Structure 1
Amino acid sequence: MPQWPSLPFIPYPPSKAGYWSPVTSTLNWCEEDYYATIYSAEIINTVTNLLFMWLGIKGIRSCRRNGHDSIFEVAYYGYLLVGTGSFLFHSTLKYPMQLVDELSMIYTTCLMCYASFSYSRPTGVRIFLAIALTSLAVFITLYYHYLQDPVFHQNAYALLTTVVVLRSMFTMEITLRPKWRQTTEEDRLARQKQGLTVPSKEHQHYENVRDTKILKTMWFMVVYGLSMFLGGFFIWNLDNHFCTEIRGWRRVVGLPWGIFLEGHGWWHVMTGIGAYLYIIWGIWLRHSLNNRQDEYYLWWPHFWNFPEIIRLDPSGKNKNGLAKKAS
């Protein structure tokens, strides 16, 4: 047992039967059950979901206030449902609440998949994609309920998330990287002959500089978000593999210090931030696809702030009357 520095602490209370007993979920995490209150099976795993719930409401309000596409408002409702489902699951450790928690993750990722792959597609393709993704979500729901194997859910979620993120990365590069859309003199002449609008060289240079700057910030957001996801996953796996030792350490250091050794709670915090960043990225990318970069800007003064895509008024100022910041 490691020697911890002598700090004032409160001894951990013993676990006891809770209001929601018995446990019926197929998963039970490393946090001890009902040690803090009889009304919450895993108090830290429960309250860390408040971040999800707050950011979900923040995102919904931002979509309405700034006129973002409705698919992202729906995605934020899904994000809010994930946090609410996880809150109820860790409070009760009941199987129905476990399904709400885990399956809402699948449904929200399917929504983001639709947002990524349906853009600018013909109506028939969008309908087919909607039916295909709905069918996939139903299949995962029924098969997971039949198997009751968390590994199946985790693999399905990881695969869907990987597909969506890689697709968004590809779209981002093709849309914003100047070298992929560089207009040669031959292209300019061909567009003129067809009666199409040809941007001046000065305007093209402005767009190249603007979009290169946006692209750089987007890549930072992607790396930051993925780092939060993977870091949270790593900490959670330490929790899974060394649970006996970690529980012992918690009881040595006592409360409140043992809170910082709750690996699954860190998973909630870090994935909550990562998922929020992904939706923000998706919103900004959609405005870029619509060639509306000059109508919106990213408010993100420091990396520890929660960013927001804000619409400018026609004068080029934000809702507080301040001039647009550089993206």
Structure 2
Amino acid sequence: MTLKYRFQLLDELPMIYAMCIPTWSLVCEAKEALLNGDNHKKVPLFEQIFIGVIIGLAVTTASILYVIYKNVDIHQILFGVQIVVVAATAGSLTYRYVHDPLAKRNLKASMALGAILFLSGYISWLLDIHYCSFWVHVRRSILALPLGVLLEPHGWWHILTGMGIYFYIVSLEHLRVITLNVSCNYQFIWRWKVFPELIWKGRKPSTRYSLELFGPYVEDQ
């Protein structure tokens, strides 16, 4: 560990805080779906705020404990719980309440790619913290610059998890507009057949795109 503890907190705690947003959104969606089925009624604003307050209090409590006890397990456990809640809830909502075949395929593809990229980044991070001296030796004594930069596992952690989170956030956006029954106003596209994006229907993308992962390009009309 090369960071001072207070700076380590600035690196790790924002991960938990950022995950609060999709956690809150999906908990609200799950409650809407359980209470209303396919009626697509929103949870009342007061209940949305209450759910947000509960999540906020849990995260604040964990942050205080993390600062006091300086135990990295607190961060890892809470972050892991958030990931499991988001992934499990999103998967369940997709399976039970998304009926359009194309939408379901796009959601599954985007979620799967996001999960694979994120887990790849997590594995890179584990390799970095457990075998740091080995990577340093290979970079400095064998590969040197510029090839040495390819064996920066911590760098790959940021790149891969960033990409994975992007894929997953796009899928959560798509799931949200479906559960709110406003998907008719949006279109799910794959730029260059691989990068998902949710856009306003009727808006012409500035790049080539397909409607499915690795699907045929949509020709200009």
* TM-score of the two chains, using structure 2 as the length reference: 0.81
The answer to whether structure 1 residue 110 and structure 2 residue 32 are counterparts is no
In structure 1, the residue matched to 2:172 is 282
Name the structure 1 match of 2:101: 212
Q: Does 1:159 align with 2:69?
A: no
Offset at 1:128?
2.2
Residues 271, 130 of structure 1: alpha-carbon distance in 2 compared, 3 angstrom cutoff: same
Letter in 2 for 1:132: I
Higher CA-based Rg: 1
Query: Which residue number in structure 2 is paired with residue 245 of structure 1?
Result: 134
Q: Deviation at 1:237?
A: 1.7
CA shift, 1:265, in A, is 0.7
In structure 2, C-alpha distance between the alignment counterparts of 1:106 and 1:321, rounded to whole Å: 34
Q: Displacement of 1:244 after TM fit?
A: 2.2
Separation in 2 of the partners of 1:141 and 1:259? 33
Q: Offset of 1:115 from its aligned partner?
A: 0.9
Q: Which runs of 5+ in 2 are unaligned?
A: 30-41, 213-221
* Alpha-carbon distance in 2 for matches of 1:259, 1:156: 31
Quote the offset at 1:303 in angstroms.
5.3
**Which residue of structure 2 aligns with residue 17 of structure 1?**
none
- RMSD over aligned CA atoms reads 2.2
How many residues are paired up?
A: 198
1:271 aligned partner:
161
Contact preservation (8 Å) 1:107, 1:137:
yes
Runs of 4+ in 1 over 6 A off after TM superposition: none
CA–CA separation in structure 2 for the residues paired with 1:126 and 1:290: 15
User: Residue 103 of structure 1 aligns to which amino acid in structure 2?
Assistant: L
Structure 2 CA distance, aligned partners of 1:256 and 1:297?
A: 41
Q: Secondary structure at the match of 1:228?
A: helix
Unpaired runs of 5+ residues, structure 1, are 1-26, 29-92, 178-210
Following TM superposition, by how much is the alpha carbon of 1:153 offset from its aligned partner in structure 2, in angstroms? 0.6
2:116 alignment counterpart: 227
Q: Which letter maps to 2:26?
A: S
In the other structure, the counterpart of 2:6 is: 96
Q: Is the 8 A contact 2:185 2:200 kept in 1?
A: yes
Q: Residue 297 of structure 1 contacts residue 325 of structure 1 at CA under 8 Å; is this kept in 2?
A: no
The 1-side partners of 2:89 and 2:205 are apart by: 35
SS in 1 for 2:15: helix
Residue aligned with 1:318, SS? coil
Alignment of 1:1-327 (within 5 A): 27-28=1-2, 93-119=3-29, 120-177=42-99, 211-251=100-140, 252-302=142-192, 304-305=194-195, 307-312=196-201, 317-319=202-204, 326=211
- Distance apart, 1:94 and its partner CA: 4.1
Following superposition, the deviation at residue 131 of structure 1 comes to 1.6
The verdict on how the C-alpha distance between 1:112 and 1:238 changes in structure 2, with shifts beyond 3 A counting, is same
Deviation at 1:241, TM superposition (A): 2.5
Distance 1:134 1:140 in 2: 10
